[in-house]
Chains A and B, each alone.
Chain A
Amino acid sequence: RKEVEQDPGPFNVPEGATVAFNCTYSNSASQSFFWYRQDCRKEPKLLMSVYSSGNEDGRFTAQLNRASQYISLLIRDSKLSDSATYLCVVIFYGQNFVFGPGTRLSVLP
């Protein structure tokens, strides 16, 4: 079983739609959680950290469920510019990041 798994995608949604991505991780001792965004043929960039209490940044909401070892990302009112691959990232031991395979989102006009 992979350490970090994500919805396989791709997700094709119309502009204005709400879309949710799921991520599960295998190690219950995981320490920190993030969502990164990667545009086509570009480097990953931090989208947001994920906190136990949940957190929101504009149209983006991240949730963490430690008991179920599950992380989610909700995007409301999708824009064309949200089209990208979304990477779930977990820190298991110390400071090394473990990346999920990513979920590709295409927002259609």
Chain B
Amino acid sequence: NAGVTQTPKFQVLKTGQSMTLQCAQDMNHEYMSWYRQDPGMGLRLIHYSVGAGITDQGEVPNGYNVSRSTTEDFPLRLLSAAPSQTSVYFCASKSGTGVTYNEQFFGPGTRLTVL
């Protein structure tokens, strides 16, 4: 199993550009999520999904869209990039939708810089 994969690993954007961060998992996990990590802030939840066709907002959803058309894929779209979105983005997944299944598996991250 590849686990959770993310592409690209690095990206530089100009203000106002849009792009999609890709995330895929091959563990048949129902729950997937996107976080951003900024120095001193910890990981903050952007959006999450409890299954194909179902998405919801996390703590910091503004400026981001998600979709979940398949169990495997959970892309994150930046609509109009801003310097405040410079961060490291992690995608994660876990099995089950209840508290019994607790370990989240993370992808390697995407380092995004917005100029």
Chain A: residues with CB nearer than 8 A to chain B?
A: 4, 31-32, 34, 41-46, 49, 87, 91, 94-102
Measured between beta carbons, the chain A residues less than 8 angstroms from B41 are 101
Closest 7 CB pairs of A and B: A43-B106, A99-B43, A101-B42, A99-B42, A46-B103, A31-B99, A32-B99
Residue of A nearest to B90 (CB): A43
Q: Besides A43-B90, A44-B106, A99-B43, 7 other CB < 8 A contacts?
A: A4-B42, A31-B99, A42-B109, A44-B90, A98-B45, A99-B44, A100-B42
Check B108 for interface membership: any CB of A closer than 8 A.
yes
- Known A-B contacts A96-B45, A99-B42; A45 and B31 likewise in contact (beta carbons under 8 Å): no
CA separation between A45 and B98, bound complex, in Å?
Answer: 20
- Known A-B contacts A32-B99, A43-B90, A46-B103; A95 and B31 likewise in contact (beta carbons under 8 Å): yes
Cβ A96 vs Cβ B58 within 8 A? yes
Type the 1/0 row for B46-57, where 1 means its CB is closer than 8 Å to any CB of A. 001010000000
Measured between beta carbons, the chain B residues less than 8 angstroms from A91 are 99, 102
Chain B: residues with CB nearer than 8 A to chain A?
A: 31, 33, 35, 40-45, 48, 50, 58, 90, 94, 97-99, 102-104, 106-109
Cβ B43 vs Cβ A95 within 8 A? no
Measured between beta carbons, the chain B residues less than 8 angstroms from A100 are 42
Measured between beta carbons, the chain B residues less than 8 angstroms from A42 are 108-109
Interface centre among A41, A42, A101 (most CB of B within 10 A): A101
Write 9 A-B pairs (CB below 8 A) sorted by A numbering: A32-B102, A41-B109, A43-B90, A43-B108, A43-B109, A44-B106, A96-B48, A99-B44, A100-B42
